[in-house]
Structure 1
Amino acid sequence: MRQGESVTFGTSGLDRAAALRADAARLGEMLASGPVVLPVWRGKPCLDAQTRAAFWVSADHKVLTHADEAPVFLGLDNGTPRFAQDISGWDPEALPDTLGAFHDPSEQRHPALGDGAVFAELRANMTRLTRRDAELVATARAILGWHESHGFCANCGTKSVISNAGWQRDCPACGRHHFPRTDPVVIMLITHGNSVLMGRSPGWPEGMYSLLAGFVEPGETIEAAVRRETFEEAGVTVGEVRYLSSQPWPFPSSLMFGCEGHATSAEIRIDPNEIEDALWVSREDMMQAFAGAHPLIKPARKGAIARFLIENWLADRLD
């Protein structure tokens, strides 16, 4: 797909400079070079309160005193080093009920940052980021989320320690090395004639529909996963499948494989344990939904690969 890498969080050409991850002396010099660290609080990146650009602070900034592990080296941003550090140990005076929900409009301000920066939900702000900031912030959220949930050795249960500039954890007891994981997920544009198959999960905003998606199982190809997930969720059989585009999706650690599939059946039989509803949506109805004028359907959120694939389907740009 020619437009494939223009998806949100798609490659911006960031130099991840993996060869520097083991160079402690050089990393120390880079950390001391200026405001190069992105604070992240409970999955929320620090953003400029007005522009929504990534907000970088110096390694000795007071806000980073809440961190309990070393910063992660993200790479070189046109020669400027970039790091991220988790400060989830900070406890604001009040926590909103929406924290961690699918839609969290709340924003937190740390007193050491003043009014110029906020911790905000990435999904709500992803389309306001530049391509480079989007790649950096998505990488930061994913890698820090991995550290948060993989702090103990899977072999012996001992507390592991961060190493290799954040791209590895080592067990001091049994010597095992652990590396960041990414979960493969298929998301599928399933068409039948002039219509596309859409579904919704419980807990989504009222009226919101998106493309069906599901995890790839061990020993399974992407194509097989598309057919299996579509049949399991909606009872629709799928024939030809082809890959279109991918998107890193750091909620918490997925890589979405966008695919196109052609349905060989039209009857929908949903599995209520998988999804809440599914339906065929014509091009005309989808265009009406994108315009905000459909009485029942709200489209997938801007920035998500589902929205990207549907927009390109409507514009006949899937080749």
Structure 2
Amino acid sequence: MSEKYCQVCGSKLIDKELEGEGMVPFCPACNEFRFPMYNVAVSMIVINKKTDKILLIKQYGRDVYILVAGYVNRGEQLEHAVVRELKEETGMTASHIRFNRTKFFEPSNTLMCNFTVYVDSDSELSTNKEIDSFNWFAFDDARKNIKPGSLAAEFLNAYLDEL
């Protein structure tokens, strides 16, 4: 059980059988089942259509390249979060987006939803304070430069392997 306390009243949860679902966290004080909660985020393979290159970024003082990513706001559609995060972090406007795949990332309790995002050019590129540095890479070079063993690398490599 990942949730230990009720998100409504704060009481300690117990595991209880729910027909058709198996063992589910249950709040005896509220007399309600409390399905596990988790974060949702989007990550994106940003491709410049003019140069056919992929944008990789460095963040938070780390010296490794990763994909642009961000959390989805409550009630926000994934596609809207992709467009918003791209604009917030890079200043660029998405001309087209395509869903790739998802994977649950246990360390941050987050369902990561990966997309390919196409921009017409990098003329709008103006990074915010979340991005320390960035670089545009040819497809093979992006594969070589992304943080090895990361979820970002897993998403990028899966995308490139399908081309």
The TM-score normalised by the length of structure 2 is 0.81
Work out the CA distance in 2 between the residues paired with 1:183 and 1:203: 24
Q: Deviations over 1:16-57 (max 9, x none)?
A: xxxxxxxxxxxxxxxxxxxxxxxxxxxxxxxxxxxxxxxxxx
Q: Deviations over 1:133-187 (max 9, x none)?
A: xxxxxxxxxxx5x23xxx2222222222233398422222221321112322211
Pick 1 or 2: higher relative contact order, CA cutoff 8 A, min separation 6: 2
Q: Between Structure 1 and Structure 2, whose CA radius of gyration is higher? A: 1
Q: Given the superposition, is the C-alpha separation of residues 180 and 312 from structure 1 closer, same or farther in structure 2, using an over 3 Å criterion?
A: closer
* Matching residue within 144, 153, 168 for 2:6: 153
Q: Please say if residues 153 and 176 of structure 1, whose CA atoms lie closer than 8 Å, have aligned partners that are also in contact.
A: no
What letter is aligned with 1:299?
I
- CA shift for structure 1 position 222: 1.8
- CA shift for structure 1 position 189: 0.6
Q: Is 1:307 aligned with 2:156?
A: no
- SS of equivalent residue, structure 2 residue 80: helix
What letter is aligned with 2:125?
I
- The aligned counterpart of 1:245 is 101
- The aligned counterpart of 2:35 is 179
Instruction: Extract unaligned runs of 5+ from structure 1.
Output: 1-143, 291-297
Q: Please say if residues 167 and 180 of structure 1, whose CA atoms lie closer than 8 Å, have aligned partners that are also in contact.
A: no
Q: Given the superposition, is the C-alpha separation of residues 181 and 154 from structure 1 closer, same or farther in structure 2, using an over 3 Å criterion?
A: closer
- The aligned counterpart of 1:168 is 24
- SS of equivalent residue, structure 2 residue 85: helix
Q: Is 1:197 aligned with 2:20?
A: no
Instruction: Extract unaligned runs of 5+ from structure 2.
Output: none
* Matching residue within 125, 131, 134 for 1:268: 125
- SS of equivalent residue, structure 2 residue 131: coil
Q: Please say if residues 191 and 263 of structure 1, whose CA atoms lie closer than 8 Å, have aligned partners that are also in contact.
A: yes
- The aligned counterpart of 1:188 is 44
What letter is aligned with 2:156?
I
Root-mean-square deviation (Å): 2.4
What letter is aligned with 1:302?
G
Work out the CA distance in 2 between the residues paired with 1:154 and 1:256: 22
- The aligned counterpart of 1:119 is none
